[in-house]
Amino acid sequence: MNILLIYPPNQNQAVYSKNFTRMKGCDTAAYPPLGLMYLQGMIKKYRPSDNIKLIDLSSSHKSFDLSAYIKTFNPSVVGLTAYTLCFYDCLSICKQIKKVNPEIKIVLGGPHVNLFPEETLLHDEIDFLIDGDGEFPFLQLIESIEGDRDLSLVESLWFRDKQGNITKNRAGSQLPSLDSIPFPCRDDIDNSLYFNPFFKKRNLSTISSSRGCPFKCTFCDVTDKIFRSRSISNIVDEIEMLAKQYNIDNFFFVDDLFNITPQRIIEFCDELCKRHLTINWIFRGRIDQVSEEMLGKCRQSGCIHIIFGVEDFSDRGLRLIKKRITLSQTIQTIKSVKKNNIKTTANFIIGFPHHKTRKDIMSLNNLLKIMPVDNIQISILIPFPGSELFQDGIRKNILDNSTWSDYVKEPTKIFELPLWNEHFSVNELTRIYEKIIKGYYFHPLRLFKKLMEINSLFRFMQYFRMGLVTLKIGKISKSER
């Protein structure tokens, strides 16, 4: 069987406002499609006679002729990763595929599927959805399609039955061991296309060492609340393989929660050093799960940067969003990381319900004056469906329960995100966002420090690009006029 996996483009991401240009993740970094690479690895292991290919339409292939490729490759099944914020692009690809050959079966997975399965299956172009861990259900689905077997046996599958009714099979049991999943396949990936500005060069790899997050932050829409980890030896086996076979020495951990405990990270660092692996690595983590011993071993084993989800900038705010950290913890942790010569980024969100005045939000600047963080990332609060804040907004009539589902039913190129507008208009929030970001990054001392960090042509080009993106924040782009 010919199977094609596609990571859709992200050209038409949802926006805060059609009159406002914001900084998007794809403006500053690009990562390989890890979820699809896991699926490809599964099929290659368990169905080696199948011909499975992967195309990433988000990083390169800007002029890629997908229709011609579909005609030549002639897949029986096409699988795509779906994100709600880019669903317009995803659906456009599905329509293009079905136009070439209506008999091709299209399967969607990814975060979008958990939130809007029924609305998504209203689109005739989409045949199946897989909810949750997709590796084994996707394998089951391929075997069912090939053998014309009963689809009701495929775990976690959404589909339309013979009468056209939307049906969901029983959820698959969570994988007892993530070590049972083959490593992501990289046969069709050009690592030189992917980058993170905190590394000195391109050619990085993303690593997923765990799944799930047990914490209950009010703004988070992650539905997988059970933390599951690969074994330390299995994680380092993958890193060692990538270093030796692909000459990759830059690794970014994409886990929702990499440092669930300091001890887990200490064991990981010890294993890296034991195998004498010389790499650079970055992770996203919690402020309150850091120790001096852990930081020392992180630096010794090649950790160069830690991205912390701080989110709010007052102790009261942190309590209200159930972050379970304090400002004093945050400041102390950032100082400890800096003492160990590791760079830091702090993520913040503005526009929470408790941000009632402009002064409330601008107080973030007071924290930044005493917290020696190297970079910040700021977002305006998006109350995502599935989060506690979204439900609060519905109860208070601040949010319309139908806005998101209506968009999924009829996606448009420009979708203005429903923000929490109890105290601020969209225009007011975006102006504050612009002022904080530009005030931080264009401060003369910070600009000088950034210039001093440039130690490669690649990093110069990335910093230059990020500077241009930051300058454009707030301006109306031509495509949005």
Could you please report the per-residue DSSP string of 174-188? PPS-GGGSPPPP-TT
Q: Is 265 helix (H, G, I), strand (E, B) or coil?
A: helix
* CA pseudo-torsion sign 229, 230, 236, 241: negative
How many residues make up the chain in this entry? 481
Bridge partners (DSSP) of residue 128 are 107, 159
CA pair distance 235, 238, nearest whole angstrom = 5
Q: Which two tokens stand for residue 99?
A: 């136009």
pLDDT in tens, the chain (481 residues): 999 999 999 888 898 988 887 766 667 788 999 999 999 999 999 999 999 999 999 876 567 899 999 999 999 999 999 999 999 999 999 999 999 999 999 999 998 998 999 999 999 999 999 998 999 999 999 999 998 888 988 999 999 998 999 999 988 766 768 999 999 999 999 888 898 989 988 889 999 999 999 999 999 988 788 899 999 999 999 999 999 999 999 999 999 899 999 999 999 999 999 999 999 999 999 999 999 999 999 999 999 999 999 999 999 999 999 999 999 999 999 999 999 999 999 999 999 999 999 999 999 999 999 999 999 999 999 999 989 999 999 999 999 999 999 999 999 999 999 999 999 999 999 999 999 999 999 888 888 888 888 888 888 888 888 888 788 787 554 444 3
Amino acid in the structure at residue 151:
L
* CA pseudo-torsion sign 451, 366, 329, 252: negative
**46, exposed or middle or buried, with CB in 10 Å at 0-12, 13-18, 19+?**
middle
Residues 6+ apart with CB under 8 A from 317: 352, 354, 355
Q: Which two tokens stand for residue 253?
A: 């951990």
Q: Which two tokens stand for residue 400?
A: 């319309």
CATH for the stretch 195-382+419-480: 3.80.30.20
Phi, psi of 361 (to 5 degrees): -75, -40
CA end-to-end distance (rounded Å), the chain: 46
Could you please report the per-residue DSSP string of 368-407? HHHS--SEEEEEE----TTSHHHHHHHHTTSS-TTHHHHH
Bridge partners (DSSP) of residue 285 are 308
The closest of 44, 28, 34 to 242, measured between CA atoms, is 34
- Using an 8 Å Cβ cutoff, are 154 and 137 in contact? yes
Q: Which homologous superfamily is 2-168 in?
A: Response regulator (3.40.50.2300)
The full set of domain ranges for the chain reads: 2-168, 195-382+419-480
CB atoms inside a 10 Å sphere around CB 286 = 21
Bridge partners (DSSP) of residue 159 are 128, 167
- Using an 8 Å Cβ cutoff, are 390 and 353 in contact? no
CA pair distance 75, 300, nearest whole angstrom = 47
Sequence-ordered alpha helix ranges (H) in 49-86: 66-73
- Using an 8 Å Cβ cutoff, are 113 and 158 in contact? yes
**456, exposed or middle or buried, with CB in 10 Å at 0-12, 13-18, 19+?**
exposed
Amino acid in the structure at residue 47:
R
Q: Do domains 2-168 and 195-382+419-480 have the same CATH topology?
A: no
In the prediction, which pLDDT does 67 show? Answer: 95
CA pair distance 196, 205, nearest whole angstrom = 10
Q: Which two tokens stand for residue 163?
A: 């009468």
* CA pseudo-torsion sign 370, 372, 375, 381: negative
In the prediction, which pLDDT does 455 show? Answer: 81
- Consecutive H or E run containing 311: strand 303-311
Q: Kindly calculate the radius of gyration of the chain based on its CA atoms and give it in whole angstroms.
A: 23
